Amino acid sequence: MTEQNDTSGRRSFLKKISLAGAMTLGIPEIVSAALITEKKADKVSLRANDIILFQGDSITDAKRKRTDLIFNSAQGMGSGYAFLAASELLSKHFNKDLKIYNRGVGGDKVYQLADRWEEDCMKLKPTVLSIHIGVNDHWHVKSKGYTGTIKTYRDDFKNLLDRTKQKNPDVRLIIGEPFGVAGIKGNYEVWDPAFKEFRVAAKEIADQYSAFFIPYQKVYDMAQKQAPGIYWTWDGVHPTMAGAQLMAQAWLTSIKG
């Protein structure tokens, strides 16, 4: 497809969304609408025997059974977006012998990923590595006395990726944007405007390391035009069943074919 045709297609899609007005969109259409203006990034082509690792905090953890360390295990994958995305990959690419792991840990900040990186990443030798981290790096400053800054987040994240690339230079990276849904009563009812810096940093880091970037904030913002935030996350951060499906569909856009 030529660039001109691609641009025309985007305009046509946006026009349809605009004309739809109050028309209800399903999750695939919500994701497409959210991502249509995103700069095109190279998608991840899956290969035979790929080892796919999901890493992050509680959003990725999703109450997985942490003693179940076997690949492609339903209990070991938790009940969130990682489980749903992995299920789709395994059903669609049954001939590739994929091995998929979830090693997200609730409450983690980037430096805590680093503390367990040898065991929970390096030893698994992932060929595709997905990382979604950042909410706690900001929120724990406000709620738990953490003293990290946006510079800490940037430096820790880059050091982690440098360390990963040094041992595994061919790893294909996927980075998810930290997000927050405002207007939900509880811990995350009101978001500090400074949190935007963490979202910007995640995007810049993804670009620097040639990672596919998933703009979850934009996806959730678009979803809230269809249903209130409480439908997608129960507290502004942790997804409901619908929110997990929303994230899984957005994550799957990183995969080619």
Quote the pTM value: 0.90
What are the residue ranges spanned by the domains of the chain?
A: 42-256
CA-based max dimension of the chain: 52
Angle at 192 between CA 106 and CA 39, to 5 degrees: 80
Answer whether 59's CB lies under 8 Å from 104's CB: yes
Q: Residue 13 carries which side chain, given as an amino acid letter?
A: F
Range of lowest pLDDT (101-110, 147-156, 183-192): 183-192
Q: What is 113-171 written as a DSSP string?
A: HHHTHHHHTGGG--SEEEEE--HHHHHHHHHS-----HHHHHHHHHHHHHHHHHH-TT-
Tell me what pLDDT residue 143 has.
83
Q: pLDDT at residue 126 above 50?
A: yes
- 192-214 pLDDT, tens digit each: 899 999 999 999 999 999 999 99
Q: pLDDT at residue 218 above 60?
A: yes
- 7-52 pLDDT, tens digit each: 554 455 445 544 444 468 999 999 999 998 877 778 999 999 999 9
- 158-192 pLDDT, tens digit each: 999 999 999 999 999 999 999 999 989 877 777 88
Tell me what pLDDT residue 185 has.
86
Q: pLDDT at residue 2 above 80?
A: no
Q: Please give the mean pLDDT across all residues of the chain.
A: 91
Tell me what pLDDT residue 23 has.
63
- Residue 56: Cβ within 10 Å count: 27
Q: pLDDT at residue 58 above 50?
A: yes
Tell me what pLDDT residue 214 has.
97
How many alpha carbons fall within 13 Å on the CB side of residue 176?
28
Please give the Cα distance from 26 to 7 (Å, whole number). Answer: 23
Was domain 42-256 assigned CATH 3.90.550.10? no
